[in-house]
Chain A
Amino acid sequence: MSSTVSTSSQGEVWAGGNKPMKASYGKLMMWFFIVSDALTFSGFLAAYGFSRFKFIDSWPIADEVFTHVPFLHGQELPMIYVAFMTFVLIMSSVTMVLAVDAGHHMKKAKVTFYMFLTIIGGLIFVGSQAWEWATFIKGDFGAVKTHGGNIIQFVDADSNHRVALKDFAHSLPTDRVQHENNNGIWFMSESSLSSYSLEEVIEGFEKDSTIVIRTQIIEDNEKTVLSREESRTFLKENGKYVVEGANLKDNEYGSPLFADFFFFITGFHGFHVFSGVILNIIIFFNVIVGTYEKRGSYEMVEKVGLYWHFVDLVWVFVFTFFYLV
Chain B
Amino acid sequence: MADAHNLEIFRGLIKFKSNTQKIWGVLILLSIVTTVEVVLGIIKPDVLMQNFLSTKILNWIFIILTIIKAYYITWDFMHMRDETPALRRVVVWTAIFLICYLLWILIQEAGYIFNTYDQGHIKTNF
Contact = CB atoms under 8 A, between A and B. Distances in A.
Interface of A: 2-3, 21-23, 28, 31, 34-35, 38-39, 42-43, 46-47, 49-57, 63, 78-80, 83, 86-87, 90-91, 93-94, 96-98, 100-101, 104-105, 146-150, 215, 217, 221, 237-238, 302, 305-306, 309-310, 312-313, 316-317, 319-320, 323-325
B82 to A, nearest CB: 10
A42 B102 contact: yes
Interface in B39-68: 41-42, 44, 49, 55, 59, 62-63, 65-66
Interface residues of B, number: 59
A237 to B, nearest CB: 8
B114 interface: yes
A320 B94 contact: no
A86 B34 contact: yes
Interface SS, A side: helix
A215 B34 CA distance: 32
A104 B2 contact: yes
Contact of A312 (B19, B42, B73): B73
Interface string B55-97: 1000100110110011001101111000111110011001100
A97 to B, nearest CB: 5
Interface of B: 1-3, 19-20, 23-24, 26-27, 30-31, 34-35, 37-38, 41-42, 44, 49, 55, 59, 62-63, 65-66, 69-70, 73-74, 76-79, 83-87, 90-91, 94-95, 98-99, 102-103, 106-107, 109-111, 113-114, 117-118, 123-126
A185 to B, nearest CB: 32
The 4 A-B pairs at the shortest CB distance, nearest first, are namely A53-B110, A104-B2, A148-B126, A3-B86
Contacts of B34: 83, 86-87, 90
Contacts of B19: 101, 104
A53 B114 contact: yes
A103 to B, nearest CB: 9
Given A50-B107, A150-B125, A309 B73 contact: yes
Nearest to A93: B77
A90 B72 CA distance: 11
Nearest to B61: A324
Nearest to B110: A53
Contacts of B37: 320, 324
Contacts of A104: 1-3, 19
Given A34-B91, A54-B117, 10 more contacts: A21-B86, A21-B90, A46-B107, A53-B107, A57-B114, A57-B118, A94-B27, A150-B126, A215-B125, A319-B66
Nearest to B63: A320
A105 B84 CA distance: 22
A131 B49 CA distance: 31
B83 A49 contact: no
Contact of B84 (A22, A150, A238, A324): A22
Contacts of A147: 126
Contacts of A53: 107, 110-111, 114
Contact of A316 (B31, B42, B66, B78): B66
Contact of B91 (A3, A35, A97, A98): A35
Q: Which of A3, A22, A50, A51 has the largest number of chain B CB atoms within 10 A?
A: A50
Given A53-B107, A53-B114, A86-B34, A94 B84 contact: no
B126 A49 contact: no
Contacts of A2: 84-86
A157 B34 CA distance: 36
19 contacts: A3-B87, A23-B84, A31-B87, A31-B90, A39-B99, A42-B95, A50-B109, A56-B114, A83-B34, A91-B27, A97-B76, A101-B19, A150-B126, A215-B125, A305-B77, A316-B66, A316-B73, A317-B66, A320-B66
Nearest to B109: A50
A156 B109 CA distance: 38
